[in-house]
């Protein structure tokens, strides 16, 4: 049975941020479907928003049905889905920039970086980088990705 009180209690504990996120993403999805569905780039963004929105709804139902009894399963689910959402988002941005930018050099760099990032994401989802160290969990790997991103973005790319 679905427990609405538990769901509202969870919302209030996080200052209603998940509820506001649900409203904002739902509104963004509706606006995107109305205004940008006729272009290929628009459809890519609609796919990203719909994927993120569906995972957000699934996350709400998992919290309300499983509760806190399956905390490790829930955290693993969140870590994996957050990684997948970031992956889909970056692929959509790659598609967007590959259509917008004219320079072949920058397109080649984008292709190489997207393949590298795809391999890193695949490796993370399958192994959680446990072969690197067992002392750190997800925050270490997230910081690792941010450090790589900061290093790659430190030197500006010239066209």
Q: Are 159 and 105 in contact (CB under 8 A)?
A: yes
| pLDDT of the residue at 121 | 85
| pLDDT of the residue at 35 | 92
| pLDDT of the residue at 159 | 43
| pLDDT of the residue at 70 | 67
Q: Is the pTM of this model over 0.85?
A: no
Q: Are 101 and 107 in contact (CB under 8 A)?
A: yes
Per-residue pLDDT of the chain (159 residues; tens, 9 = 90+): 456 676 667 666 665 667 788 888 999 999 999 999 899 999 999 999 999 999 988 887 777 676 656 667 777 777 788 888 888 988 898 899 888 888 889 889 888 988 888 888 888 888 776 666 555 555 555 555 655 665 565 544 444
Q: Which two tokens stand for residue 72?
A: 């490790």
Q: Are 120 and 129 in contact (CB under 8 A)?
A: no
């Amino acid at each position: 049975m679905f427990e609405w009180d538990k769901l509202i209690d969870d919302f209030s504990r996080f200052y209603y941020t998940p509820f506001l996120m649900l409203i904002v993403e739902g509104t963004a999805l509706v606006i995107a479907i109305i205004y940008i569905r006729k272009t290929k780039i628009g459809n890519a963004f609609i796919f990203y928003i719909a994927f993120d929105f569906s995972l957000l709804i699934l996350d709400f139902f998992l919290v309300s049905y499983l509760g806190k009894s399956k905390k490790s399963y829930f955290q693993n689910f969140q870590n994996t889905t957050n990684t997948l959402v970031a992956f889909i988002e970056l692929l959509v941005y790659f598609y967007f920039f590959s259509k917008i930018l004219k320079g072949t050099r920058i397109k080649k760099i984008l292709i190489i970086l997207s393949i590298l990032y795809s391999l890193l994401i695949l490796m993370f989802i399958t192994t959680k980088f446990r072969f690197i160290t067992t002392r750190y969990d997800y925050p270490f790997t997230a910081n690792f990705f941010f450090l790589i991103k900061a290093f790659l973005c430190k030197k500006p790319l010239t066209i």
